[in-house]
Structure 1
């Protein structure tokens, strides 16, 4: 017996959402596959909210900080990163979720999903051309930063537990690692 699977396109996925197919299910589209999202525990929700508020205060109107909302990628993926720092395009986002060219950097807060965030999601984001990707590792209390794209892969990986970090898109911005991890 051969197992046949159905690969979703972003367009099919949107049609299914509009039809109410996933009304009671938290899913995201990764490489054409529907993936059930892990339920959010208290610590994850706390860090996601605090990090977003901190970045909003630092960035002001220079960027839009979106919490747990979809982004649309060209590899038949529509993940929902915990935090997406995107161009402040206002009402344009009524027509589409942010595309890779609208994204400054992405952050995943990881506890139960650490392996997936460090492998599958990292690969999907790199393939889509996202120039910088941060993983807040809640298990080991550290920030892991991926950047410097080459051949659809991140070639630089840095791990921080203290200090100040500046994202590629905003080199003048000073973000406290401790504030992200506290």
Structure 2
């Protein structure tokens, strides 16, 4: 699969049309790439998402449950729900932790200011997520991003976005703990979900 950020830059440099997030939401399913049940909009380009396997869903289910247990109702934990990052991106992270709203985001998607943590689970952390989502999320100022690589059996914890890059990157593996910034004192043992 092509790197979505690089593809978007290529499209923009050639002057090709970039979809806005609003146009993307109005797009009928018939206009989506064939054979791809799940797509997201990355910098104006419709990008197919990789298929998910049982171990992928298992990690999401276990980690989402642990985050919900610790954070709700003070914060909201969602899985496979879209977020809007700027005018040209509607991403679909595996897990998002967002600030709650009275309207439940009925009239708009959560944006960068609402997002406290994003989590992506990948068969390999070295996959396109590493080259695609990391710079995208940093560019849009996502405060904390966890990239969990199933093959590597590790999580990359990325924080402190500045100028399209995260200044802090830490690898967590067996014996380590994930400690979200939004919940000081919460320590999730890595072994609980992978």
TM-score (norm: length of structure 2)? 0.83
After superposition, residues 6-85 of structure 1 pair within 5 angstroms as: 6-17=17-28, 21-22=31-32, 25-74=37-86, 76-85=88-97
How far 1:64 sits from its partner (Å)? 0.9
Q: Which has the higher helix share?
A: 1
Match of 1:165 among 169, 175, 178: 178
CA deviations 1:24-73 (Å, max 9, x no partner) are 73210001110011121111111111111111112131211111110000
- Identify which of 102, 110, 114 aligns with 2:114: 102
Give me the whole-angstrom Cα distance separating, in 1, the residues matched to 2:40 and 2:32: 10
1:138 aligned partner:
150
**Which whole-Å CA distance do the structure 1 matches of 2:18 and 2:176 have between them?**
43
Distance 1:57 1:79, change over 3 A: same
* TM-score of the aligned structures, taking structure 1 as reference length: 0.88
Question: 1:126 aligned to 129, 133, 138, which one?
Answer: 138
* Runs of 5+ consecutive residues of structure 2 not aligned to the other structure: 1-13
Q: Which runs of 4+ in 1 moved over 3 A?
A: 19-25
5+ residue gaps, structure 1: none
8 Å contact from structure 2 (residues 160, 166) kept in 1: yes
Which deviates further from its counterpart, 63-72 or 85-94? 85-94
- Count residues with an aligned counterpart: 178
